Amino acid sequence: MSDEILLVDDEAGLRKVLGLSLEDRGYSVTTAASGTEALDVFSRRHPDIVLTDIKMPGMDGIDLLKAIKAEDPDTEIIMITGHGDIELAIKSLKFDATDFITKPIDDDILDIALKRAKERISMRRQLRAYTENLERMVEEKSRQLVQSERLAAMGETVAGLSHAIKNVAGGLKGGAFVVEKGLDLNNPKYLRQGWKMVRDNVDRIQQLSLDLLNIANPGVPRFRLTDPNQPLRQVYELMQPTAHQFGIGLKLLAGKGIPEMTLEPEGIYRCLLNLVSNAMDACLQGGKCVDSASIELVSEVADAGLRYQVIDNCGGMDQGVQDKIFKAFFTTKGSRGTGIGLMLTRKIVESHGGRIDVVSAKGTGSTFTIWLPRDPLQ
C-alpha cells in the first residue's frame, strides 16, 4: 500500500541520496527536479505520497502543494525545508500538507512522517470502503423496503378489490333472489325490484372496470390552453336538471376575468363531476333531499394559479373518514360506490402539479378544494 513516492528537489545530490534511502525502505521512487516537472510526473503516475522541497526556482513547494491538492486532494504531501524556513513549513500545513521535515533529514523523523502519511491513506481507504459498503447496504435495504411496500400495496389493493367484488356479487345474488321470488309468486313488483338491483350492480361493475382501467392506464395528459371555467360550466349544466329534480340548490360561482390556463379540460371535468356527484349523494339521504340542501361550484384565481371549490352543506364527514377518502376502495356510499373516484380525482389533480384538500365537519357539510398551478408543464 502507498509504495510509490514522488521526490521533488532541485538539488541532484539530495534526490540521489534520499531516493536511495527511500528505496531501501521498500518504496518505488520517481524523482523530479522542479515543480513543473513534478506536476507532469504526477499527472501521469498519481503517486499517493509526494516529498517536495519547499524552496525551488520557478514553481516553489507551496505552489506545487496547491496544484497537486487541486488535482487530487487525497495525495499526502510531505514538505522538506531548511531551518530558516519554518514559517513557510507552517504555512504549508494550512494548505493541507501532511507534515514537514527539515534538512539535514533525520531518518527517524522521516520514518515518522512517512508512517503518518500511510496511516492517513489507510484511514481514508477504510473510510471509503466503509462508506461504499454502507451505501450498498442502504441501497439494498431501500430496495427491500420498496419491494415490501409494493407487496403491501398490492395486498391492500387485492383486498379492497376483493371486497368491492364481494359487495357486487352480493348485490347480484340478492337481486337474482328477488327476481326468482317474483317469478315464483308472479309478482311484478318483486320482478321490478329485483331487476333494478341486478341492473344497478351491473352498472357498478362497469364503473369499477372503467375506474380501474383509468388508474392502471391513465395515458399522457393532453394539456392545452383552456378557459378554466369551461369544465366548471359543463358540470353545472349537466347536473342542474338532477339538482332541480331533487330540490338541491346548485349554484355556479365562476370567477370573472380568469385568463386561459394550461389544463387537461377532460381530466378537470371528470374531477369536478365526481366531486359534485358525491356532494349530491350527501344531500340525498334515503332518496330524499335534506332541508335547504345546496351545492356551490366555485372558480377563482389564487396563489398564482387557480382554485376550484365544490361546497355543500349536507352530511359532512368526521376526521376518521376524511383520512381515508382518497384511498383505494374506500367509499361512504355503501354498495353503490366503487371507492376509486376520489383516488382517481387526486391522481388527475397531481398530474397537473396540483393538490386536492377537504375540510368537513359532521352535520355541517364539506368543502373540496382543488389547487392548480398556472402552468403544470413548468
CB neighbours of 240 closer than 8 A, spacing ≥ 6? 250
CA distance 69 to 136: 29
Measure the CA–CA gap between 229 and 161, rounded to whole angstroms: 35
DSSP 8-state code for residue 206: H
The average confidence (pLDDT) of the chain is 83
Quick one: average pLDDT of 278-302? 83
In the prediction, which pLDDT does 152 show? 56
Is pLDDT of 286 > 60?
no
Where residue 151 falls among pLDDT bands split at 50, 70, 90? low
Q: Is the pLDDT of residue 213 over 90?
A: no
Does residue 248 have a pLDDT over 50?
Answer: yes
Percentage of the residues of the chain whose pLDDT score is greater than 70 = 84
Q: 110 pLDDT exceeds 90?
A: yes
- Residue 366's contacts (CB-CB under 8 Å, 6 or more residues apart) are 279, 282, 311, 312, 315, 316, 317, 358, 359, 360
Among 237, 224, 297, 204, CA closest to 267: 224
Span 41-62, average pLDDT: 93
**Whether CATH 1.10.10.10 fits 4-105:** no
Q: Which three cell numbers stand for residue 172?
A: 347480484
Q: Residue 36 forms beta bridges with which residues?
A: none
What would the mean pLDDT of 150-157 be, rounded to a whole number?
54
Instruction: Give CA–CA dist 237/252, Å, rounded.
Output: 9
pLDDT for res 148: 67
133, 328, 371 from 220: Cα distances, Å = 40, 21, 20
Residue 1: what pLDDT?
45
Is the pLDDT at 365 greater than 60? The verdict is yes
pLDDT at 13 over 70: yes
Burial class of residue 188, CB neighbours in 10 A (0-12, 13-18, 19+): exposed
Residue 172 identity:
L
Predicted confidence at residue 149, as pLDDT, reads: 63
Cell of 179: 327476481
Rounded CA separation 87/54 (Å):
11
pLDDT at position 159 is 53
**Is the per-residue pLDDT at 33 higher than 70?**
yes
The pLDDT of 352-378, averaged and rounded, is 87
Given a cut of 60, is residue 225 above it in pLDDT?
Answer: yes
The reported pLDDT for the residue numbered 328 is: 56
pLDDT at 64 over 80: yes
Q: Report pLDDT for 21.
A: 93
Spell out the CATH class of 224-373.
alpha beta
Mean pLDDT calculated for residue range 22-46:
93
pTM of the model: 0.48
- Taking 80 as the threshold, does the pLDDT of residue 377 lie above it? no
Q: Which of 79-93, 113-127, 158-172 has the lowest mean pLDDT?
A: 158-172
> With 0-12 CB in 10 A as exposed, 13-18 as middle and 19+ as buried, what is 304?
exposed
At residue 317, what are phi and psi to the nearest 5 degrees? Answer: -135, 145
What per-residue confidence (pLDDT) applies to 297?
Answer: 95
Q: 26-35, 85-94, 175-184: which has the highest mean pLDDT?
A: 26-35
Span 80-104, pLDDT tens digits: 988 777 888 888 888 999 999 998 8
DSSP 134-197: HHHHHHHHHHHHHHHHHHHHHHHHHHHHHHHHHHHHHHHHHHHHHHHHHHHHT-HHHHHHHHHH
Q: What is the mean pLDDT of residues 117-137?
A: 87
Is residue 215 very low, low, confident or very high in pLDDT (cuts 50, 70, 90)? Answer: low
Domain ranges of the chain: 4-105, 151-216, 224-373
Query: How far separated are the first and last CA of the chain, in Å rounded?
Result: 52
Q: Which residues pair with 344 in a beta bridge?
A: none
List the single range of 29-43, 78-92, 128-142, 202-216 with lowest mean pLDDT. Answer: 202-216
Q: Which residues of 144-168 are buried (b: 16+ CB within 10 A; e: fewer)?
A: eeeeeeeeeeeeeeeebbeebeebb
pLDDT at residue number 295: 93
Q: Is the pLDDT of residue 163 over 70?
A: no
pLDDT in tens, 256-276: 988 898 888 888 988 898 899
Phi, psi of 314 (to 5 degrees): -115, 140
State mean pLDDT over 60-82.
Answer: 93
pLDDT for res 160: 54
